[in-house]
Every structure is written in C-alpha cells, then in structure tokens.
C-alpha cells in the first residue's frame, strides 16, 4: 500500500520541495510525496541545482499553499521548518506528524558556491531523515 506524505515549510520553495523530490526518487512506488507552504512562492534555483547533482529533477515542481491539502488524508505530515511547525493548521486526516527542524537555506550568504553548499547540507540532512525515518520504517514493516 502506498503511503501519502506531505512536507510543509513556510514558502514551499526549498526544503519542502527538496524533500518531495527526494522521497519520490528514493521511495518510488511505496510513497506518494507532496509539499506545500503557508505561502506559495517559487522553487529556488539553488534547490533545483542541488537536487540535480543527485540526478533528481525538481524543476517541474511548483510551490503550493497548504490549504489545498488540509482536508486530504496523509500517513505523514512533516514540517521541515520551525515557522511552519508553529503556524501550520491541524490536519484532521493525518495519521502521524513529524518535525524535522532544518536551517533555512534562503538565509545563506556569501558567494554562489557558499550558498549552494548550504543547500547541499540541507538536502543531505533531508535524505538522512527520509532514509532513517520513512524508508527504514517501511522496510521493517
């Protein structure tokens, strides 16, 4: 049975978008991945680039507001930033809720390469969470 997962972040532009792409690629048919934000903006070019380094194309993903998902059922609703964890509404049809507090790569400063390095760190932290908390749990059941 496919597990539905929703990743939430404030702008749905980097962390939640990378998480959605990672779970789609790593979880294959075992998971249905979605992402949304308390606001909708645009997927950040550095997030697209960091994911492309892993061979995962998120350039076709779009930023979405979370209100479109509130009445849907999910096995997991995962916030990936503190602001979303604090402001995100109650999801009545979510079986489990998780919070993965990750730094905001949009706050990265410095050169293009220094900023990209922050996106890579966040991407790799997301991958670790997904592998250890979602994929490992799925194979154990």
- Active-site residues, by number, are 9, 81, 88
Q: At what angle do helices 15-27 and 45-52 cross, to 10 degrees?
A: 30
- Which residue has tokens 């990936």? 80
E-state strands within the chain:
3-9, 31-37, 74-79, 94-99
Residue count of the chain: 141
Residue 41 and residue 62 in contact, taking contact as beta carbons nearer than 8 Å? no
| Per-residue buried b or exposed e for 13-25, using 16+ beta carbons within 10 Å of the residue's own CB | bbbbbbbbbbbbb
Strands 94-99 and 3-9 come out as unpaired
């Amino acid at each position: 049975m496919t597990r539905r997962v929703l990743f939430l972040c404030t702008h749905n532009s980097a962390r939640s978008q990378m998480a959605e792409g990672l779970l789609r690629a790593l979880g294959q048919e075992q998971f249905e991945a979605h992402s949304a934000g308390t606001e909708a903006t645009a997927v950040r070019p550095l997030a697209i680039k960091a994911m492309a380094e892993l061979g995962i194309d998120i350039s076709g993903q779009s930023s979405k507001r979370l209100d479109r998902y509130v009445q849907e059922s999910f096995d997991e609703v995962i916030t990936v930033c503190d602001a979303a964890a604090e402001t995100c509404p109650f999801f009545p049809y979510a079986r489990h809720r998780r919070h993965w507090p990750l730094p905001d790569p949009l706050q990265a400063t410095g050169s293009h390469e220094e900023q990209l390095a922050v996106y890579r760190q966040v991407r790799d932290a997301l991958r670790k969470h997904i592998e250890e908390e979602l994929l490992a749990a799925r194979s154990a059941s």
